[in-house]
Structure 1
Amino acid sequence: MASPKLRRSLSEIPSQILSTISSLTSLLQSLNPKHPNHPLNPNLTILNQFSHHLNPQFVIRVLKTQQNPYHALFFFNWASNPNPNPNNYSHNHFTYIAITDILISRNLFSLATELLESNNKLSDFMMGKLIKAHGDLGHIRWALHLFDRVRVRYSGRCLFSYNAILGVLVRCDRVDLAEKLFNEMIGDMIVKPDVSTCTVMIKGLCKMGEIEKARKVFDEMSERPNLRTFNTMISGLCKKGLMNAALEIVETMKGSDDCLPDTVTYTTLIDGFCKIRDLEKAKRCFDEMVSRNIDPNELTYNALIDGLCVSGDVDDAKSMMIKMRLNCLKDTIVTHTSLLKGYCIAGRSDEAFKHFKDMVGCGMKPDSKSYEVIVNEYCKLSRPNDAINTLKEMTKFGIRACSFNKILNVFVELKQPDRAVVLINQMRQMGCRPNFLSYNAVICGLVKAKGRMKVVEKLLMDMVMNGFDPDATMYGCLVEGYRDIGNEEMAMRVSREMIDKGFVVNRESS
């Protein structure tokens, strides 16, 4: 099946050309593209009937309709030297981009490299594509290898490859290495960073919380920042809560002709103000956005709705959702999860539970976050049975269950550690492995309940087999448990083990 984008592009092509492309594709599909000279293949001269159609646009269209990348490559190679060639056709930069994109999209990197190299087309631009493709697959070492290769080949004059490798390193959280390459780039002065270079570095530095370094890159840019650069810097400042600095940058954007604030800019500001609980300024940004004829999108509304809900103003949040619908935007599970949180924060638990049931009744599928809100609220109300039933419902719908530790703690608080033991043993069946906190809550709860040391020993063995060792608190509980049942020998043994592992024994445990 052709993709929607491809179907749209094909619908814009004249029917006669479409018919020719269809005939050519059918013929290509009858060939064995990996063995073109195979005796069972039709005579390749049959392709000559299409020679007079060859031009870059036609070739690109044919390439994009091929489901098999080897058919695309076969056609590309044939079209590079057709005989006859009434149009004097030869591939151009864009046809090489088209075949390279096809081969890269199917992870045929060697074929793409070989094709480009044999035709002397392995340019900085094309190498940038290969570097990015390897990075997208997590092949970081190979991406770096390609970058080193192109840097040597072009004596450092490889801006596209620099931008590609910096993007790869930022996406895989190797910002330290990206920064080193960026500094080398500036120090060598062989190739000057462009807007894309600076934008990716700003993004990486903001991602690592290095906001001052990011601001330095932004302020020292030799070219004027574009809209993406502005929004990246604003996002970094907002995530750090530096809203005044973010507003200053927005003011400079307002005074420009080519980089006016857009929906992303205002949505970022609104989310930033909501995160620091400054709802008045968030609303002011929203109103200013509308007054400047900039349309809010789902992310804008959801950011403001979430901010209102976190502040407990769930009624205003509901009004905002209605406004969202009136503007022909659809509320999503993200919107409703925020409302669920809002009800819970406002102490309106029953309304949260009702809203959750209404959501499901309307055909909306809750996700793990919305379920987690409900489970946590049941735990807060000391209703572990309802919380467990909610977890079972999650499992039934194929959603990974959550918040087990909170339920375990509720059982311990209610002095029902035996029920906690049952739940911890059921966790794996419900798609979640117990962690150290799970074991710690139940083991210490059992010790305090007295007379459960056999069960404690079984759980402790299970915990160690799953890779978790007791900490000082748990050792203290175990010593206390053994002393309560008069087993001084085991109490001393646990104390010695505790000392051997470097934990300090307090007076109560000694």
Structure 2
Amino acid sequence: SSDLCTVLEILLVPCARERSEKLQRCTVRMTHELVEQTLSRTRNNWEAAFTFFLWAGKQPGFHHILRDYHSMIAILGKFRKFDTAWSLINDMRALSIVTPHTIMIMIRKYAAVHDVAKAINAFYALRRYNFEIGISEFQGLLSALSRYKNVKDAEYMLFCNKAVFPLCTKSFNIILNGWCNVVGNLYEGRRIWKEMERRRIRPDVYSYSSIISCYSKLNSLKSVMKLYERMKASGIDPDKKVYNAVIHALSKVKLIKEAYSLMKTMEEKGIPPDSVTYNSLIMPLCKHRLLDEAKQAFDEMMQRGLLPSVRTFHAFFRVLTTGDEALKLLQTMHETGCNPSHETYIMLIRKFCRWRRLDDALKLWNDMPKKGLDHDRSSYVVLIHGLFLNGMLEEAHRYYVGMKEKDLLPEPMTDTMIQRWLAGKT
């Protein structure tokens, strides 16, 4: 919308004073939809997001709702502005709109930066806000810790609190999935699996999907099929995650007919394939450079009305060999409503620099802020290296200076490369 464009244009003004003055003169009609869209587009620039959030909250007749606060708290947490986030939560408390989910956002953000102690403190802060702490909240803590690779700490919490929160399949599953699919440590996953057996905690379909997925990623088709048959023999029906993991394992060893046969079995069982199912086919096919088969699976996916994900497109981008193909696929990505990520742009900028299509590389760079993606450390590094290796030394140095002005630390190799060039100039 024009209001969104107006606000975003103001927030991109580098001078804080000028930005503030323009906001004060801004006459857009404030709505919760505008707040949601603006925070989504500025989620990688906490200062711009927070400036807008505070200004929006002061507009006549407008008050932030719970969703607005949660979005802003998540952005602040992402950039480790935890004191500011807690200050907002205290504002929410005065309005009596704090929920357990509010605190859970903080737990997740602490877990994301591996500050386990503060994640646990935030968990116990639930009582301070007059919320009960039950097994559901405890499992939320375990999930947050495991999701961000703090699985060892999550496992410690599980066993240390077994008197308060009795051991059960769901709690074990969180740890099992953490070891198997977040960390990808099969040894630890098997240890937890055996611990479940020792304590007579009966595995369910989620337990099986976790360990089967791990074996699938590690190319152990024999173990995948053995567990798959064992699960069925124990009376547990496979779910979509199990089918997807087995299809992935089959595709990785080029058993494409068998993978499609299992997909047919899924449908006969009333479980329609989803985007993940097709990714389980497409990604290994691309890796094996069986592009005709991968494109056939992609077309079939689209015909079913299933939307490809960022991972789908990345699988193709990794193996494309020409710039025109890459640009065409990027256009398809936009048309399907799939938003490119930082990784998408970094991958493409690197490729276009290798193909010596620097105009296209710089165009992609300039497109990033328009898509709500701030230029981060990795994107600067890949562009600087690409320009430097293509002989555009002055340009590379200009972006290097811009990177340091944003307080982004260059990689040692980047630093050495630029410093040697500067020394050679004098």
TM-score (normalised: structure 1): 0.51
Match of 2:156 among 205, 208, 213: 213
User: Which whole-Å CA distance do the structure 2 matches of 1:140 and 1:317 have between them?
Assistant: 50
State which of 323, 336, 340 in structure 2 corresponds to 1:401: 340
Is the CA contact (8 Å cut-off) linking 1:400 and 1:431 kept in structure 2? no
5 Å matches for 1:272-287? 272-287=214-229
Question: For residue 270 of structure 1, what is the aligned residue in structure 2?
Answer: 212
Whole-Å separation in 2 of the counterparts to 1:442 and 1:181? 39
Task: Find out whether 1:446 has 2:387 as its counterpart.
Answer: yes
Q: Which deviations, in whole Å up to 9, do the C-alpha atoms of 1:237-280 show, x marking residues without a partner?
A: 53543233233244357x6xxx6432222222322333444332
Residue 349, structure 1, aligned to residue 349, structure 2: no
- Partner residue, 1:389: 328
Contact 1:343 1:349 in 2 (8 A): yes
Q: Could you say if the C-alpha distance between residues 454 and 292 of structure 1 is closer, same or farther in structure 2, counting changes exceeding 3 Å? A: closer
Who is 1:90 aligned against?
none
Q: Does the 8 Å CA contact 2:110/2:119 hold for their aligned counterparts?
A: no
Question: Which one of the candidate residues 330, 334, 356 is aligned to 2:276?
Answer: 334
Equivalences for residues 281-320 of structure 1 within 5 A: 281-310=223-252, 313-320=255-262
Match of 1:244 in 2: 190
Map 1:1-20; keep pairs closer than 5 Å: none
What stretches of structure 1 of length at least 5 have no aligned partner? 1-105, 108-136, 147-160, 184-192, 493-510
C-alpha distance in 1, partners of 2:361/2:104? 47
In the alignment, residue 243 of structure 1 is paired with which amino acid?
A: G
User: Could you say if the C-alpha distance between residues 463 and 233 of structure 1 is closer, same or farther in structure 2, counting changes exceeding 3 Å?
Assistant: closer
Distance 1:243 1:370 in 2: 27
Question: What is the CA–CA distance in structure 1 between the aligned matches of 2:233 and 2:240, rounded to whole Å?
Answer: 18
| Cα distance in 2 between the residues matched to 1:467 and 1:228 | 43
In structure 2, do the counterparts of structure 1 residues 278 and 413 end up closer, same or farther at CA, with 3 Å as the change threshold?
Answer: same
Pairs within 5 Å for 1:42-81? none
Instruction: Give the percent of matched residue pairs that are identical in Structure 1 and Structure 2.
Output: 19
Indicate the residue corresponding to 2:130 in structure 1: none
Indicate whether 1:373 and 2:315 are aligned: yes
Output the amino acid matched with 2:332.
Answer: E
Q: Distance in 1 between matches of 2:385 and 2:141?
A: 48
Whether 1:321 aligns to 2:263 is yes
CA separation in 2, counterparts of 1:261 and 1:426? 48
Assess if the C-alpha contact under 8 Å between 2:213 and 2:245 holds in 1. yes
Matched, 1:235 2:177: yes
Alignment of 1:34-183 (within 5 A): 170-171=107-108, 173=110, 175-177=116-118, 179=120
Amino acid at match of 2:204: D
- 1:115-173 CA-to-partner distances (Å, cap 9, x unmatched) read xxxxxxxxxxxxxxxxxxxxxx9889659x99xxxxxxxxxxxxxx9x99997875554
For residue 482 of structure 1, report the CA deviation from its aligned partner: 6.0
Instruction: Give the match for residue 12 of structure 1.
Output: none
The residue identity in structure 2 corresponding to 1:386 is E
Check 1:221–1:359 CA distance in 2 against 1; reply closer, same or farther (3 A cut): same
Q: Residues 190-247 of structure 1: CA distance to partner in whole angstroms, max 9, x if unpaired?
A: xxx98668756655665522255246337x5378534433433443453543233233
Aligned position for 2:354? 413
The change in CA–CA distance for 1:140 and 1:279 in structure 2 (over 3 A counts) is: farther
CA separation of 1:310 and 1:250: change in aligned 2, threshold 3 A: farther
| Change in 2 beyond 3 A, CA 1:445/1:176 | closer
Tell me if 1:358 matches 2:297.
no
Specify the code of the residue in structure 1 equivalent to 2:211. Answer: L
Tell me the equivalent position of 2:29: none
Greater length-normalized contact order (CA 8 Å, ≥ 6 residues apart): 2
Count of aligned residue pairs for this structure pair: 320
| Equivalent position SS for 1:269 | helix
- Contact 1:310–1:342, Cα closer than 8 Å, also in 2: yes
Paired AA for residue 421 in structure 1: L
AA matched with 2:334: T
Structure 2 letter corresponding to 1:352: A
User: Which residue of structure 2 aligns with residue 474 of structure 1?
Assistant: 414
SS in 1 for 2:151: coil
| Preserved CA contact (<8 Å) 1:166 1:200 | no
Contact 2:208 2:227 in 1 (8 A): yes
User: RMSD of aligned C-alpha atoms?
Assistant: 4.3
Q: Distance in 2 between matches of 1:215 and 1:400?
A: 37
Aligned partner of 1:474: which letter?
A: T
The change in CA–CA distance for 1:431 and 1:392 in structure 2 (over 3 A counts) is farther
In structure 2, relative to structure 1, the CA distance for the partners of 1:140 and 1:436 (3 Å cut) is closer
1:299 positional shift: 1.9
